[in-house]
Structure 1
């Protein structure tokens, strides 16, 4: 394979700095993680957005979270059709193999994926409507959330509401997985929805009783 190249120098320097400091200071802990395997308490499904840093937000150590990231922190509905489903596979592994106690969906402000869906839904992004668009077809998952609010909101206000609808749709889809539903009903698993305000550092949780988001 002739397409892969050596790491950029700045990443090599950062790695060497980490190896000489953080790793060296916690060598026993890393070796324990390697020998005993991972036992995370929670799975977090967050966006690929580089501004959303889950471990920093919660001050998490290595081995604490099983993290899956995708465009717009979406979970598709349960659909065992033989195709490849990265997010569904991650959920299955977290719940059935790792036996996590919590699955957390973390949405955020200024989400490019959600903005892209809104542009597509309003005819402003024809490229995303193409069948060949991986982003467009992935963002189709958000359509039920958009249908709930499209008549009440438009423009930037609609996009802001859609960011939270992405969290709600993902929670709704999670419970369609039989092994998730069984674990929840058995009291072995809890589901949580969060929305993070990047600029203000805020965090809100989805409150099922009010069907809205409340500050943490």
Structure 2
């Protein structure tokens, strides 16, 4: 069977050539060093696939500084070596075990479509997500427990914002079910961070476990 691959759109070709002639040319030695010596990222970031969440820009990160994994609603499944949710788990294992990152950030955000879908599904307003064949729906099942904590709290917009933050807390909780993560946290060689980003106003909040609340950075 012939694979259905097509040439890149012209605008992407033009952007690539522009990058190669400017950013790459200016830092060619650094790129060669990264290729030769390998990566040594200081942190792993688990963020949403949402195109509006530009992780490297938010933190001004350089090439090779972050090991980034993106998925719908920045969710981490519980440790389950016999389960089927291996993409995110494999990325965590590699970052924590092989790359030995010292910080692991879970970055949630406002106007998250995945979280919105979870809210709709849990309220019975998204039958398409209830289907066994919905990958998004079954993935968002990970956040059903978070929905139970926020349902009935304020208006719908308030519930959505609260559920976005619950997605971060769910992921932090599930991260601690990974033996490698728990061991390194206990050793003091790995720090977990829960963050929420407002796309519209650029705000960034961090989760304070002692206060049980998110605060502005």
User: Do both share a fold (TM > 0.5)?
Assistant: yes
Deviation track 1:169-203 (CA, whole Å, cap 9, x = no partner) reads 00000000001000000111000000000000000
TM (normalized to structure 2)?
Answer: 0.97
The gaps in structure 1 that reach 5 residues or longer are none
**In angstroms, what is the RMSD of aligned CA positions?**
0.9
Deviation track 1:5-24 (CA, whole Å, cap 9, x = no partner) reads 00000000000000000001
In the alignment, structure 1 residue 6 sits paired with structure 2 residue 32 = no
Contact 2:50 2:112 in 1 (8 A): yes
How far apart, CA to CA, are the structure 1 residues paired with 2:62 and 2:175?
26
How far apart, CA to CA, are the structure 1 residues paired with 2:117 and 2:155?
14
Deviates more, 1:142-151 or 1:96-105: 142-151
How far apart, CA to CA, are the structure 2 residues paired with 1:15 and 1:5?
16
How far apart, CA to CA, are the structure 2 residues paired with 1:215 and 1:204?
4
Aligned to 1:25: 26
In the alignment, structure 1 residue 56 sits paired with structure 2 residue 60 = no
Q: Helix, strand or coil for the counterpart of 1:66?
A: strand
Which aligned pairs between 1:145-184 and structure 2 lie closer than 5 A? 145-184=146-185
How far apart, CA to CA, are the structure 1 residues paired with 2:187 and 2:82?
27
Deviates more, 1:145-154 or 1:128-137: 145-154
Aligned to 2:134: 133
Deviation track 1:132-178 (CA, whole Å, cap 9, x = no partner) reads 00000000111111111224345221111000000000000000000
How far apart, CA to CA, are the structure 2 residues paired with 1:150 and 1:158?
7
How far apart, CA to CA, are the structure 2 residues paired with 1:71 and 1:121?
17
Q: Helix, strand or coil for the counterpart of 2:167?
A: helix
Aligned to 2:145: 144
Aligned to 1:95: 96
Aligned to 2:200: 199
1:58 positional shift:
0.4
C-alpha change, 1:193 and 1:82, in structure 2 (3 Å) is closer
Q: Helix, strand or coil for the counterpart of 1:31?
A: helix
Contact 2:152 2:159 in 1 (8 A): no
How far apart, CA to CA, are the structure 1 residues paired with 2:145 and 2:201?
29
Which aligned pairs between 1:36-47 and structure 2 lie closer than 5 A? 36-47=37-48
TM (normalized to structure 1)?
Answer: 0.98
The gaps in structure 2 that reach 5 residues or longer are none
C-alpha change, 1:206 and 1:85, in structure 2 (3 Å) is same
* Aligned length, in residue pairs: 216
